[in-house]
Chain A
Amino acid sequence: MINVHNILILLIIIPFFTAFLIPLIDKWKKEKRKILVISANIIEISLFISFILVNIGKIKEGIFYLEYNLGGWLPPLGIMIKTDMLSLYFLVLVNFSMFLLIFYSIGYIGHHEGKYYVLIFIIWGAIQGILVTGDIFNLYVMLELILITSAPLIAFKRNIEGTEAAIKYMFYGIMGGLFIFIAIILIYFNLGTLNYNEISVNFNMIPIHLQNIIVVFFLIGIFIKIGIFPLHFWVAKVQSAAPSPISAFISGVLINVYIYDYLRIFWDVFGFEVLENLKLDLLVIIIAILSSLIGHILALYEEDIKKILAYSTIGHLGIIIATLTLNTRLSLIAGLFYVTSHSLMKISLFTTSGYLIQHTPTNSLKEFKGVAYENIIIFSGFIIVALGMVGFPPMIGFISRWYTIKSFIQSGYFIPPLIIIFGSLFAFVYYVRFIINGFRKVHLEETDDFTLVLSILYRERLVKVIAITFVISVLISGLFFKFLYIPINNVVNIILSPVLSIFIL
């Protein structure tokens, strides 16, 4: 029989190991690196699929739960690996996106950059670690690892803009990490354990005033990482400066990981009552809704397409956080739907616009005149996803908006839905503005000296295929959203009764 624990650990080890191997293979033969990257990618994803297939029975029933002590050391000393439906759902989301994004990177960046793949595989490993671990310090280490490795990726174009953005990103990331670190230290000094399960059982034993500090610091840490309104200043700069696959990766994958942390920490580890007792949940909802509105409003001001998408991320993230914080069954379902839809749609927007950016000198909106005629299929993909983003069916954006507004009204909040709708009016206008510009015809004069700045190894077909794949995934998930409903419902069962999951095995 296959040992499922081994697969789980291999899932973390393979990306790290690949990252380690790439420099070595570069010493030997640079041409072989391509094979290594692609095969590692495929091995990782097939391992993950086999992991799901092995546990398919339990996953279908919604009772999948796995606990494993590394090296047989018991929790207070050793590291525990804990995977349940919640982690699995996010694993599926992240691995699907990462698998395609690595191919997109091969097309977009070219395979001549060894460092790029080292960094991206380390991040992939770290993400797997976060999603699989049952240890709060592990979580912190992996978060810092992500920060350190994603900063050079942001500055990957090696220009002033990128470097500035990376430094700003580091400032904010370290600040966020620091708050989380202090909170973890406080937990450890009081309880003497770092294990999720043990913390969740004993959290009430921490003195109240320390509980407050822990909760607030964790909130701030996660909000900085996500980019909620007063702490969001790094987002636009970073997204604009980073190469398109990295922007897509930050907006579509990393954000998911942070939302997973938010769910895991505040529902599973601390227990949602802690937030409720401090009356912080209402405050978080207000901040998040405000953040969403401001994100959408600021997006209209921007002229840079990638900044527009970045601010729209802030706008949607605010809605997600607010919806999750409502803490009803429906709102959690809505939030998870929104996470899924936002991740898929944002990645497809970044990948399609990444393709289109290759045909313009800068990212500025003015340069986008007539970009639709470069490749009408990609551009219509962009239009479809943009319409999905503002909530038109049959894309999945409509379904997530439906459930979101429904959950707000069900919880008795009648004003936030109107704010969401008002925000989406802004979203609608900025997408329409972009699309109109895309269709505007330009007459190039002969004197215009215009040459495309393309990387020699830029592979147009691969980039196109991946972008279209994401667009199709948006369409398909929207058409068959009923099939998404069942796993999400199972996940929400786990979120709402996290203590139960310990005794399932």
Chain B
Amino acid sequence: MLTELFIENFEVNKLNMMFVLIGIIITTVSLLSTRDYTYEHRDWFNLSILIYTISFVMIILTNNWIIFMIGWELVTITTFAMLLWGGNKIARIYLIIQFIGSNFLLYVILVIMNAGYTKIGPIDNFNLQLLLIIGVGVKSAIIGLHFWLPIVHSRAPSPVSAILSGWVVKLGFVLLLKTVITGNIVLFYAGIAMVIYAGIQAILATDYKVLLAFSTISQLGFVAIGIGSGNTYAYWGSVLHIIVHGLAKTSLFLGSGYWIKKIKSRTIYDFKNGWYKDKLNSVLTILGLLVLVGFPFIAGYNSKTLVKYAAGDGLFFTYLFHLLSILTYIYVFRFLKWGIFNLDHDEEIDQEVKYIEGNTLFSIGLPIIIILVIGFVSNSLIGINYTDFHLLEGLIKNSVYIIIALSFLKLTNWAYVEEKPVPSMDLFLIKMKNWYRIITGKEKVKTLEVDMENQIYNILINISKFVYKLLPKKIQSQLLLIPIVVLLLLLFV
């Protein structure tokens, strides 16, 4: 009976199993690296990781909407639980936002089911596709619904950021891969907007983890482009990019934790002499970043080559995609310049700080090794016949990109930006308020009287105060309502 139930509700094919495998690798690697962070209540942390693993496996394998939704909500709860180790406030905000998002997704899924799509499978209706994209958008940071991601991902403990950025945001796209097969033009343009917007934000970022968080949104944009275009090659490019980027971002975030521990700062300008401080970690970080830019011989190149088929024959999109690649190059090189290769021989380097080793090396290095392997076997991973990735052409293209990116950076003093505070919900709210004030022509505000959480709370409690005032307080008038209701009902019938 159990096997029947399993066969009925779960779909085990090569694609799904690939996702499950990669997800488990990412989770395991992140879990291993938590050993370097002495967390209190380790058992609870491990338990939430375990439930998280089960639930994302459920999400990926199932073809049943209800099991999908159970997994989705469980992922929300368990990631919330993991975030608790990084601070209560950020976790609460995350839970509230995800609660609203997942409730909307539940509604959307039931509307879709009502339209006749009783199993998870291709959806033809454009509007339903759009609803679904908005539904998964809160967790998967589609543009417009992404505002929480840089805040949460940069403030979470590094292993948790690795899980969130490496895999949790991909789960929505895994669903879109199964449903939006024929492509969706809105998703396509949203992807382009994500790449450009988040790329620019990453260029302006001064905090390493914020930079990584924005680059996550930017890379998710490529996935969205691939799915949204409806092109078969681009579709499989998205599949490959989900895997490759997941592994790379995990490695980068785990590495960032190590960097922060070593340098005792998160600002990229403090990463000075990074190459001398830790050569091994530098190599791994550089490799991880090269995956993001799509350098030939590394799997990132393969996935991006495929995604770029989304342009079709259009000349405009072909050039636009070149521009997107250059954008990625710019933020990566900027970090390398300010961070790792800002060599200053006069600075004394603390020799007592040891090189990266042990568990951390394993957990940062393993994803990179897997990516390097995938670079050579990627055509066997994807479901279409595609053998030649035009490496020579890619090399030439990428060198052009590099030249343009470097000359841009040279012209702008390596895009030096004043050091900015780490983003928080309050800063976000101030920004929103100021936008509103600019439109209405008022003066800008610099501080908030109440923080974001209390702002939401105050709105809700004001509604309830209003309702409370409307209702009668005295028992006489309360009882008087009974005959009134009776009369109304009798008049109605």
Measured CB to CB, the residues of A under 8 A from B are 168, 171-172, 175, 179, 212-213, 215-217, 219-220, 224, 230-231, 233, 278-280, 283, 294, 297-301, 387, 390-394, 398, 401-402, 405-406, 409-410, 414, 417-418, 421, 424-426, 428-429, 432-433, 436
Contact = CB atoms under 8 A, between A and B. Distances in A.
B113 interface: yes
B70 A212 contact: no
A393 B482 contact: no
Contacts of B492: 279-280, 283
Contacts of A297: 463-464, 467
A219 B488 CA distance: 13
Contact of B493 (A230, A280, A428): A280
Nearest to A275: B493
Given A175-B479, A425-B99, 17 more contacts: A215-B493, A216-B493, A233-B471, A280-B493, A301-B465, A392-B77, A394-B70, A402-B66, A406-B113, A409-B111, A409-B113, A417-B110, A425-B103, A425-B460, A426-B460, A426-B464, A432-B95
A212 B468 CA distance: 33
Contacts of B113: 406, 409
B3 interface: no
A200 to B, nearest CB: 20
Nearest to B468: A301
Interface of B: 66, 69-70, 73-74, 76-77, 88, 92, 95-96, 99-100, 103-104, 106-107, 110-111, 113-114, 456-457, 460-461, 463-465, 467-468, 471-472, 475, 478-479, 481-482, 484-486, 489-490, 492-493
A433 B479 CA distance: 32
A391 B104 CA distance: 13
Contacts of A418: 107
Nearest to A428: B99
B479 A391 contact: no
B464 A425 contact: no
B464 A301 contact: yes
Main secondary structure of the interface of B (DSSP, over half): helix
- The 9 residue pairs across chains A and B that have the minimum distance between CB atoms: A301-B464, A393-B70, A233-B478, A300-B464, A212-B493, A278-B493, A216-B489, A297-B464, A421-B103
Contacts of B92: 432, 436
Contacts of A219: 489
A484 to B, nearest CB: 14
A432 B92 CA distance: 9
Contacts of B103: 391, 421, 424-425
Contacts of A212: 490, 493
Contacts of A230: 481, 484-485
Contacts of A390: 99
B103 to A, nearest CB: 5
A298 B463 CA distance: 9
A298 B469 CA distance: 10
Contact of B482 (A168, A224, A405): A224
A172 B114 CA distance: 41
B490 A421 contact: no
Nearest to A407: B110
Nearest to A237: B475
Contact of B467 (A294, A417, A436): A294
B111 to A, nearest CB: 6
B69 A179 contact: no
A216 B96 contact: no
A304 to B, nearest CB: 14
Nearest to A481: B66
A402 B482 contact: no
Nearest to B479: A171
A224 B478 CA distance: 12
Nearest to A171: B479
A298 B74 contact: no
Nearest to B107: A417
Contacts of A387: 77
A213 B107 CA distance: 38
A272 B94 CA distance: 45
Contacts of A280: 489, 492-493
B486 A179 contact: yes
A279 B493 CA distance: 7
Contact of A421 (B74, B107, B468): B107
Contacts of B485: 220, 230-231
Nearest to A175: B482
Given A212-B490, A300-B464, A405 B106 contact: yes
Nearest to B470: A294
A426 B465 CA distance: 13
B134 to A, nearest CB: 14
